[in-house]
Amino acid sequence: MTKADDRLIVALDVPNAIQGLKLAEQIGDAVSFYKIGLGMLTGGGLALANELKEEHGKKIFLDMKLFDIGATVENAVRGLAQFDLDFLTVHGDPYVVKAAKEGASGKDMKILAVTILTSLDRQDLNGALIKDGDIKDLVQERAGNAFIAGADGVIASPQEAALIRALPEADGKLIVTPGVRPAGADLGDQKRVATPANAVADGADHIVVGRPVWRSENPRAAAEAIVQELSSVQAVRPNH
């Protein structure tokens, strides 16, 4: 039996809490950390987060990507922090990060800043009127600004993990990478991807994997295979 590895976060990107709980029960003790995203919010996502945390001893990453005026973000985070969750995402704009950290004050919940979504490429950024420049450079710049604003970590694609880990501001901070696909897996809507081992070797503390696990005929076996791959690699941690 493969022991769970906290570096693997499985995304429960299924329609509702009933299916999410069923999937978690299928996977069992092979996974200790789950992501619940915006898509399940109206399908009982918060209730599932509480059940997995309180009754099953799992860690929970609530992926809300909050973005609003500072006061609204602070109030929303303060409310969510009462659920004793582990990670929460907000957009990486410094004022949003600062407000989120105020809302999480006194709690252990980590605030993770979104840099640039892993489903986007330069053409997408042009359409959104994002300033010119290579995506990797923009991600590194946004990550540095988020760290300075107080973020506990950032969300970035595996392809930018090494660049972010090299930042002096990244010392002691978390890097969480979606867009991770085991070798041979379908890329889906992700455009900037890497394998689990490569992502961790490049500096990621946690990887997020969804479809390759929950679409598998045997989700537990799929998760165990990723954990096995991670067991052979250590993360890069430069000294600052």
Catalytic residue list contains 65: yes
Cα separation values, 37 from 16, 48, 124, 160, Å: 11, 11, 22, 22
Q: Which of 22, 35, 53, 65 is catalytic?
A: 65
Residue 48 corresponds to which tokens in the numbers above? 């599932």
Task: Give 72's contacts (C-beta < 8 A, 6+ positions apart).
Answer: none
Of 182, 185, 206, give the one whose Cα is nearest residue 196.
182
**Is residue 115 a contact partner of residue 92, using CB atoms and an 8 Å limit?**
yes
Give the residue numbers marked as catalytic: 65
